[in-house]
Amino acid sequence: MEIFLQQILNGLVLGSVYALVALGYTMVYGIIGLINFAHGEVVMVGAMITISMLTMFSAMGIQLPGVVVLLMAMMISVPACMILAYFMEKVAYRPLRKAQKLAPLITAIGISIILQNLAMMIWGRGFKSFPSVIDVEPIDFMGATVTNLQIAIMIVAVLMMLGLWFLVERTKLGKAMRATAVNQEVAGLMGISINHIISMTFVIGAGLGAIAGVMRAANYGQADAYMGAILGLKAFSAAVLGGIGNIFGAMAGGILLGVIESLAAGYIGDLTGGFLGSHYQDIFAFIVLILVLVFRPSGLLGERVAERA
């Protein structure tokens, strides 16, 4: 029972990160129908810049509480990722918005390779460890262990999602985004600047992604130039699971995928009599993705059909 609770808790932490990344995919997909393959790389860049900043601050000998230092680092890394996403959209996706469907997809893959390799040039191929600015304390929760950092991750994720919900449902910008998602041309006729709204979508998604990247790096205590690819794929699976284009779907899908993955990794050895071990953890996201697309392509909460060109 303790193992079960422990896996659920791990899954919730993992799932919060997936959910935040998945929001970036789903928002962009909802508006322009493009899978932004490079989103995972933006997440990675967010984590790496934060690590660099933290290292720099500690080298400068800044004596402040850990949380403040971390916030200062994120004040730099999150806007940097937003700017990156803005230019990415402008250079690689906007000129191709009217082109055939494969074209923006291939540029997206290209951008993601470019970002990954630039990151390798800047930060090298190996792991960068996350400076321990926050004292991680384990807390006992009904027999399972959870750290104060993990609790903070979950709380921040929930706050971010509430903030996004408020932005999309209650503000003028959100209304414009929803209108653009429904019909770009008509939204344009209503006086909405489509290009601006699409840029904003990329920027907001990148901001959430950067925060998720920091969370993941802090939770695992390290980050590397490859982390974006697999994290991005899983988050995309989460977005599909929830119903792509649907913001609540991405949140639910992310958390669900985190829990599924964590439970599956914990129990697969027992279930298959030792035939498959927890090494296979990474394939569950793909299996979930394939099952969802085959049996319920619209996802859990989505209404759209996945059958698109």
Partner 1 sequence: MNKTMKYGLLLVLLVALPFIVNATPFLGPTWVRILGYAMLYVMLALGLNIVIGYAGLLDMGYIGFYAVGAYLYAVLSSPHLFENALASGPMDWPFWVVIPLCAIVAGIFGVLLGAPTLKLRGDYLAIVTLGFGEIIRIFMNNLDRPYNLTNGPQGINNINPLHIGTHSLKSTWTLFGLEFTPVINYYLVFLGIVIFVIFLSSRLENSRIGRAWMALREDEIAAEAMGLNKRNIKLLAFGMGATFGGVSGALFSSYQGFVSPESFVLMESIMILAMVVLGGMGSISGVVIGAVILSVMPELFRDVVNAIQPVLVNNITFISEDTLRNVLDASTLRMLVFGLAMVLVMRYRPEGLWPSARRRQELHDKDEEPFDSAHYVKETSHAKISADEPDNRDTTGEGR
Q: Which residues pair with 139 in a beta bridge?
A: 146
Residues whose CB falls within 8 Å of the CB of residue 70, separated by 6 or more in sequence, listed in order? 50, 54, 133, 134, 214, 218
Closest CB to partner 1 among 41 and 252?
41
Task: Give per-residue burial for 152-174: e unless 16+ CB within 10 Å, then b.
Answer: bbbebbeebbeebeeebeeeebb
Eight-class DSSP state of 303: -
Closest CB to partner 1 among 35 and 53?
35
Closest CB to partner 1 among 63 and 100?
100
Closest CB to partner 1 among 111 and 259?
111
Q: How far apart are CA 2 and CA 299, in angstroms?
A: 31
Binding status of residue 116 toward partner 1 by CB under 8 A: yes
Q: How far apart are CA 25 and CA 236, in angstroms?
A: 6
For partner 1, the binding residues in 81-100 under the rule CB under 8 A are 92, 95-96, 98-100
Least Å from the CB of residue 307 to partner 1: 6
Contact map string, positions 1 to 40, toward partner 1, x by CB under 8 A = --------------------------------xxx-----
Closest CB to partner 1 among 130 and 236?
236
Do 134 and 70 meet the contact criterion of CB atoms below 8 Å apart?
yes
Least Å from the CB of residue 121 to partner 1: 5
Binding status of residue 275 toward partner 1 by CB under 8 A: yes
Sequence length of the chain is 309
27, 126, 168, 251, 295 from 246: Cα distances, Å: 8, 36, 11, 9, 18
Binding status of residue 293 toward partner 1 by CB under 8 A: yes
Stretch that binds partner 1, among 119-127, 141-149, 157-165, 252-260 (CB under 8 A): 119-127
Phi-psi bin for 185: left (phi > 0), alpha (psi -120 to 50), beta?
alpha
Least Å from the CB of residue 200 to partner 1: 22
Q: At what angle do helices 39-60 and 2-32 cross, to 10 degrees?
A: 110
Of 50, 107, 199, 262, which lies in the binding site for partner 1, with binding defined by CB under 8 A?
107
Contacts to partner 1 by CB under 8 A: 33-35, 92, 95-96, 98-107, 109-114, 116-118, 120-125, 229, 233, 236-237, 240, 274-277, 279-280, 282-283, 285-287, 289-290, 293-294, 297, 306-309
